[in-house]
């Protein structure tokens, strides 16, 4: 607290000093009227304030449309000391749940005089400390790459940007602050902005913003997961007539869920081999907040011990396709206030669950309108001795037809035009090659889909990150 008081004292002294030679140097007047007229939040919404410079101020309008809880308070050309001076008026006084900060490039450009990397980082850290005192979660964004400034060609910003981002990333990691890395996603080999992502090498164009948007949305969701919410987590026991046993399912309802009022869309989220219905809530606790953030019900069913979500042709006790596509759906729609149609249902999962989600969705397109996979076994044939698949389909050398007809990559002929598909895999995953080939096969057949490949292995660190991107995709599907 002493540090904050010291910061505020310095701010006050600096503020008075600046007014002696520059009228409204931090441009406090810019948003005073908008702040006074800011509408109250809708029930269940969190206000998100964006603090930054021209890159944020001139963000494409479509990103903010339909999101009155997203408040843009960026000012073109501003440096971090100017932002720090108006942080109380334009952020704290608006009482947001989250502030998104992207700043520093104009300091490097020298817009308000020389500034060292340490000075810039200190100003940004001061904003984060002020946010913390007022219980505002922070999403700290990296500085965007810039190789040259067209208006100041004598300045060489590339290495300074790299060094500033290193400081910001290290601080975020140490203090458990959400860090959004725009730089890695948009930089070329010279640490400048990739060709095609901007017109002047500094400011993103529509394509550049399209890369940034899912990154910041995922960061906001992660920050909101750190706030306190009253999402409800239930365990629903469903008797499966097809398998003559009770099956447990975790049901997560958003904070504003009301069984008597608005119907909610449902995401069915499947676990992997050797897992169960508790995997997602225990390994990725943020999934509870994501249900609230994206205003959807999340169902985590128990898919049995390595069931592969089949109605097994060789094991009469394994009828998980029948359970998932009929018994589970009917029970969820009966017990919860859902959008009971394909436009209100999506399904995804990890590993075995990634296979299962696509398998079930492709075979039951009247039930699910969107499907995803994270590190999924989209072609099981290269793995003929693994994860109990032979117990579900029979040994490969004697049951090739079972393997051929029940592998996802051979089910594309079932697809209709309206199935929405997203899948991803990490470079170091043993399923990486089959996912690449699946993407190529979909592309060759002109089947619309979203495919993401990025660093990562077959582990919960990867899936905890991947689910955020998939949730954004499914949320867009539900909102159409």
State the CATH number of the domain containing residue 107: 3.40.50.1110
Cα separation of 27 and 58, whole Å?
17
Q: What is the pLDDT of residue 177?
A: 92
Q: What is the pLDDT of residue 228?
A: 57
Nearest to 456 by CA among 445, 448, 467, 446: 467
Whether residue 430 is predicted with pLDDT greater than 80 in this model: the reply is yes
Same domain, 218 and 236: no
**In which element (H, E) is residue 261 found?**
none
Same domain, 72 and 28: yes
Same domain, 327 and 455: yes
Cα separation of 471 and 353, whole Å?
16
Strand residues in 184-303 grouped as ranges (E): 232-240, 245-253, 266-270, 297-301
Q: What is the pLDDT of residue 285?
A: 86
Percent of the chain surpassing pLDDT 70 = 94
pLDDT band at 176 (very low <50, low <70, confident <90, very high): confident
Same domain, 240 and 220: no
State the CATH number of the domain containing residue 341: 3.40.50.1820
pTM above 0.75, yes or no: no
Whether residue 4 is predicted with pLDDT greater than 80 in this model: the reply is no
Same domain, 344 and 249: yes
Q: What is the pLDDT of residue 373?
A: 97
Same domain, 270 and 303: yes
pLDDT band at 27 (very low <50, low <70, confident <90, very high): very high
Each residue of 384-404: pLDDT tens digit? 888 888 998 889 888 999 999
Same domain, 316 and 454: yes
Whether residue 5 is predicted with pLDDT greater than 70 in this model: the reply is no
Give 362 or 289, the one with higher predicted confidence: 362
pLDDT band at 259 (very low <50, low <70, confident <90, very high): low
Each residue of 447-460: pLDDT tens digit? 999 999 988 999 99
Average pLDDT, the chain: 89
Tell me the CA distances in angstroms from 43 to 38, 47, 234, 368, one per residue in order.
Answer: 15, 11, 23, 29
Same domain, 209 and 240: no
Q: What angle do CA 106, 12, 169 make, to 5 degrees?
A: 40
Residue 200 domain boundaries: 2-224
Write down which residue in 200, 224, 248 finishes a domain: 224
Percent of the chain surpassing pLDDT 90 = 70
Q: Are strands 98-101 and 48-51 parallel, antiparallel or unpaired?
A: parallel
Partners of residue 179 on adjacent β-strands: 140
Each residue of 318-328: pLDDT tens digit? 999 999 999 99
Same domain, 204 and 258: no
Each residue of 192-215: pLDDT tens digit? 999 999 888 899 999 999 999 999
250 burial level (CB within 10 Å; 0-12, 13-18, 19+): buried
Same domain, 69 and 177: yes
Q: Are 334 and 358 in contact (CB under 8 A)?
A: no
Each residue of 297-336: pLDDT tens digit? 999 999 988 899 999 898 888 999 999 999 999 999 999 9
Each residue of 73-124: pLDDT tens digit? 999 999 999 999 999 999 999 999 999 999 999 999 999 999 999 999 999 9
* Among 255-259, 356-360, 417-421, the range of highest mean pLDDT: 356-360
Give 12 or 314, the one with higher predicted confidence: 314
Q: Are strands 245-253 and 232-240 parallel, antiparallel or unpaired?
A: antiparallel
Same domain, 87 and 156: yes
Cα separation of 112 and 105, whole Å?
12
Residue 6 CB-half CA count within 13 A: 5
Give residue 69's Cα distance to chain centre.
Answer: 18
pLDDT band at 260 (very low <50, low <70, confident <90, very high): low
Whether residue 14 is predicted with pLDDT greater than 80 in this model: the reply is no
Partners of residue 48 on adjacent β-strands: 70, 98
pLDDT band at 17 (very low <50, low <70, confident <90, very high): very low
Whether residue 441 is predicted with pLDDT greater than 90 in this model: the reply is yes
Q: What is the pLDDT of residue 227?
A: 66
Whether residue 175 is predicted with pLDDT greater than 90 in this model: the reply is no
Residue 342 token pair? 């394909």
- Crossing angle of helices 158-174 and 117-133, in 10° steps, is 30
Each residue of 122-173: pLDDT tens digit? 999 999 999 988 889 999 999 999 999 888 889 999 999 999 999 999 999 9
Each residue of 31-50: pLDDT tens digit? 999 999 998 877 667 999 99
Tell me the CA distances in angstroms from 184 to 106, 181, 432, 463, one per residue in order.
Answer: 20, 6, 21, 20
Give residue 370's Cα distance to chain centre.
Answer: 17
Range 421-447 average pLDDT: 95
Cα separation of 390 and 388, whole Å?
5
Range 430-450 average pLDDT: 95
Write down which residue in 179, 195, 224 finishes a domain: 224
Whether residue 20 is predicted with pLDDT greater than 60 in this model: the reply is no
Nearest to 310 by CA among 407, 415, 409: 407
Residue 410 token pair? 């051979």
Cα separation of 48 and 51, whole Å?
10
Same domain, 73 and 168: yes
Q: What is the pLDDT of residue 269?
A: 98
Residue 385 token pair? 């001795």
Cα separation of 27 and 54, whole Å?
14
Write down which residue in 224, 247, 264 finishes a domain: 224
> How many domains in the chain?
2
Range 411-417 average pLDDT: 90
Range 54-81 average pLDDT: 92
């Amino acid at each position: 607290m002493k540090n904050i008081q010291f910061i505020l004292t310095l701010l006050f002294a600096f503020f008075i000093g600046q007014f002696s030679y520059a009228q409204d140097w931090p441009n406090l007047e810019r948003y005073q009227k908008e702040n006074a007229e800011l509408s109250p939040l809708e029930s269940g919404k969190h206000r998100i304030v964006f603090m930054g410079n021209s890159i944020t101020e001139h963000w494409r309008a479509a990103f903010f449309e339909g999101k009155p809880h997203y408040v843009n308070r960026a000012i073109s050309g501003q440096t971090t000391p100017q932002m720090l001076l108006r942080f109380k008026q334009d952020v704290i006084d608006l009482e947001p749940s989250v502030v998104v900060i992207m700043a520093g490039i104009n300091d490097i450009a020298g817009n308000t005089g020389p500034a060292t990397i340490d000075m810039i980082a200190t100003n940004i850290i001061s904003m984060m400390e002020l946010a913390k005192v007022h219980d505002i979660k922070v999403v700290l964004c990296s500085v965007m790459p810039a190789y040259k400034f067209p208006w100041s060609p004598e300045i060489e910003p590339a290495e300074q940007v790299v060094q500033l981002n290193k400081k910001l990333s290290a601080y975020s990691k140490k203090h458990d602050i959400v860090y959004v890395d725009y730089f890695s996603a948009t930089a070329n080999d010279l640490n400048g902005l990739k060709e095609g992502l901007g017109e002047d090498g500094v400011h993103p164009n529509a394509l550049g913003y399209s890369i940034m948007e899912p990154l910041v949305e995922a960061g906001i969701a992660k920050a909101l997961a750190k706030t306190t919410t009253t999402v409800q987590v239930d365990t629903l026991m469903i008797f499966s007539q097809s398998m003559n046993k009770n099956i447990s399912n975790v049901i997560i309802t958003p904070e504003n869920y009301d069984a008597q009022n608005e119907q909610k869309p449902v995401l069915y989220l499947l676990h992997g081999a050797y897992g169960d219905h508790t995997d997602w809530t225990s390994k990725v606790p943020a999934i509870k907040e994501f249900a609230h953030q994206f205003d959807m019900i999340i169902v985590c069913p128990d898919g049995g011990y390595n069931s592969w979500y089949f109605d097994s042709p060789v094991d009469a006790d394994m009828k998980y396709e029948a359970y998932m596509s009929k018994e589970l759906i009917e029970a969820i729609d009966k017990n919860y206030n859902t959008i009971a149609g394909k436009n209100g249902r999506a399904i995804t999962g990890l590993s075995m669950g990634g296979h299962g989600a696509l398998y079930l969705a492709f075979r039951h397109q009247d039930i699910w309108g969107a499907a995803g996979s994270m590190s999924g076994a989209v072609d099981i044939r290269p793995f003929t001795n693994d994860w109990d698949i032979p117990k579900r389909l029979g040994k490969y050398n004697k049951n090739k037809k079972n393997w051929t007809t029940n592998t996802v990559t051979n089910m594309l002929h079932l697809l209709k035009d309206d199935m929405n598909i997203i899948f991803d895999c990490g470079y170091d995953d043993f399923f990486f090659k089959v996912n690449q080939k699946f993407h190529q096969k979909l592309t060759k057949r002109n089947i619309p889909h979203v495919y993401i490949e990025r660093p990562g292995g077959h582990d919960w660190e990867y899936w905890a990150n991947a689910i955020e991107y998939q949730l954004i995709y499914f949320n867009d599907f539900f909102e159409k």
